[in-house]
Amino acid sequence: MQNINSNKKNIHLYFGDDDFSIAEEIQKEKNAFEKKYGDINIHEIDWNNQNLSKDEKLGKLQKGFLSGSLFSSDKLLIIKNSLFFLNKKKKEDKKEEENKNNIDEKEKLILKYLENPTDEIRIFFIEENIDKRKKIYKELIRLEKEEIAKIKEFLVPSDFQFENWIENRIKKRSGKISKEALNNLAILLGKGLAQKNRNGKINQSYNLWEASNEIEKLVSYCDKKEIKKEDVALLVKSKVNMNIFDLIDSISLRNKNKAALLLNKQIEQGLNENYILIMFVYQFRNLIKIKSLLNQGLMNQQIITQTKMHPYVVQKSVQQCQKFDMQTLKNIYKKLFDADLAIKTGKMNARLVLDLIVVSV
């Protein structure tokens, strides 16, 4: 029989690759608990903590499941990497593990508590991955059905969701950003660089911790003014793979074989075709801008000051501008614009567009 008499869900399992959002949620819980009860009964146990022995971790876990202090019986437990942590085993022991015949002391302690949880202890289990075969997971599913537990997966947002995530965080900081600046910021932080791992899972290249820091920097810099693309270019360092310049160099030299080879290499290394096209558009737009300034007689440093581009980008772009006249650059840019439109309307796929650009420029 459960000791829980309220409808409050006191047992939580948070898992997934979005450790940033998980950390924020946990911090909110800690702040709310501390404000109401103080911090004396907040206990955190990380099973990956190498500074504690196995016995010390078990002791902390066992103590966590006991009643609170004399001043307050309420307790907040944050238990990380404990439920589905796999010990290294020999191959011959794998079958035994899969059959769940080997339940360690840690699991026994947790399972025993889950048989009869109390409403005085609020628990958050934090995991990166879950194993649905485990008895602990099945027990948590049972408790969720009884509205005692809550299981929630946190996933790093996809490319489109990432822009929404950025915009929402800026709004929460009482800031605002233009659509163009938002798109540029997402690209600079790694939008479009997603890769698949061996299991077919998509891993985003951007880091939400880093993205949050860049947002804080931009909001503070703009001080309630709308964030513009110029602010993003000035303050945010790009994750752009500079090897894209080699590909554009080959195109500018009309070396179609080398360009095709470099294109294949970029895609094999995990660059998304849409991202490469975005970088083509971005770079040829820069070339048109820089070519115009060169025609006005400006030197490299003056161009860096006026455009606020990275010195390396300006240096490489100036070199590439020497291989194009202005009309050719505009013609290529129009081709890229038409290609982007064809992809968005479903008339062509991104890889075919890139191949056509390589052979036709």
CB of 317 closer than 8 Å to CB of 327 = no
**Per-residue confidence band for 5, with pLDDT thresholds at 50, 70 and 90:** very low
d(CA 128, CA 154) in angstroms, rounded, equals 9
**Is residue 72 over pLDDT 70?**
no
Which of 158-167, 184-193, 267-276 has the lowest average pLDDT? Answer: 267-276
Which of 68-72, 116-120, 314-318 has the lowest average pLDDT? Answer: 68-72
**Is residue 12 over pLDDT 90?**
yes
Kindly give, in sequence order, each residue whose CB lies less than 8 Å from that of residue 69, ignoring residues fewer than 6 positions away: 40, 41
Burial class (CB in 10 A: 0-12, 13-18, 19+), 31: exposed
d(CA 157, CA 145) in angstroms, rounded, equals 28
d(CA 357, CA 336) in angstroms, rounded, equals 8
* H helical segments located in the chain: 19-37, 54-64, 91-98, 105-115, 135-145, 159-172, 179-188, 208-222, 229-235, 244-252, 256-268, 273-295, 300-307, 311-321, 326-344, 350-360
Chain-wide mean pLDDT for the chain? 82
- In this prediction, residue 103 carries a pLDDT of 60
Q: What structural domains does the chain harbor?
A: 11-153 (3.40.50.300), 156-239 (1.10.8.60), 241-361 (1.20.272.10)
pTM for the model = 0.62
- In this prediction, residue 97 carries a pLDDT of 45
Give 123 or 334, the one with higher predicted confidence: 123
Percent of the chain with pLDDT over 70: 83
Q: Mind listing the pLDDT tens digit for each residue in 251-304?
A: 777 788 888 888 888 777 666 777 778 778 878 888 999 999 999 999 988 998
The pair phi, psi for residue 76, each rounded to 5°, is -115, 120
**Is residue 142 over pLDDT 50?**
yes
Q: Which residue has the tokens 């992809």?
A: 343
- In this prediction, residue 193 carries a pLDDT of 59
**Is residue 308 over pLDDT 80?**
no
**Per-residue confidence band for 6, with pLDDT thresholds at 50, 70 and 90:** very low
Region 315-324 average pLDDT:
86
Q: How many CA atoms lie within 13 A of 336 on its CB side?
A: 20
d(CA 152, CA 119) in angstroms, rounded, equals 20
Q: Residues 129, 55, 59, 90: what is their CA dihedral angle, to the nearest 10 degrees?
A: 30
Q: Which tokens in the block code for residue 337?
A: 């614009």
d(CA 309, CA 322) in angstroms, rounded, equals 18
CB of 204 closer than 8 Å to CB of 248 = no
**Is residue 196 over pLDDT 90?**
no
pLDDT winner (highest mean) among 43-47, 104-108, 167-171, 331-335: 167-171
